[in-house]
Chain A
Amino acid sequence: GAGVSQSPSNKVTEKGKDVELRCDPISGHTALYWYRQRLGQGLEFLIYFQGNSAPDKSGLPSDRFSAERTGESVSTLTIQRTQQEDSAVYLCASSRTGFGSPLHFGNGTRLTVT
Chain B
Amino acid sequence: QKEVEQDPGPLSVPEGAIVSLNCTYSNSAFQYFMWYRQYSRKGPELLMYTYSSGNKEDGRFTAQVDKSSKYISLFIRDSQPSDSATYLCAVGENDYKLSFGAGTTVTVRA
Contacts and interface: CB of A to CB of B under 8 A. Distances in A.
A42 B43 contact: no
Task: Give the bracket for the number of chain A residues in contact with chain B.
Answer: 20 to 34
Nearest to A108: B43
A102 B49 contact: yes
A42 B102 contact: yes
A91 B44 contact: yes
Contacts of B100: 35, 42-44
Given A99-B94, A102-B49, A42 B99 contact: yes
A105 B102 contact: no
Interface in B1-58: 4, 6, 8, 34, 36, 41-46, 49
Interface in B57-110: 88, 90, 94-103
Interface of B: 4, 6, 8, 34, 36, 41-46, 49, 88, 90, 94-103
Interface of A: 4, 31, 33, 35, 40-45, 48, 50, 56, 58-59, 91, 93, 95, 98-108, 110
14 contacts: A35-B100, A40-B8, A43-B44, A45-B97, A48-B96, A58-B97, A59-B97, A95-B96, A103-B46, A103-B95, A103-B96, A103-B98, A104-B45, A105-B36
A-B CB proximity, top 5 nearest: A105-B43, A42-B100, A43-B100, A102-B46, A42-B102
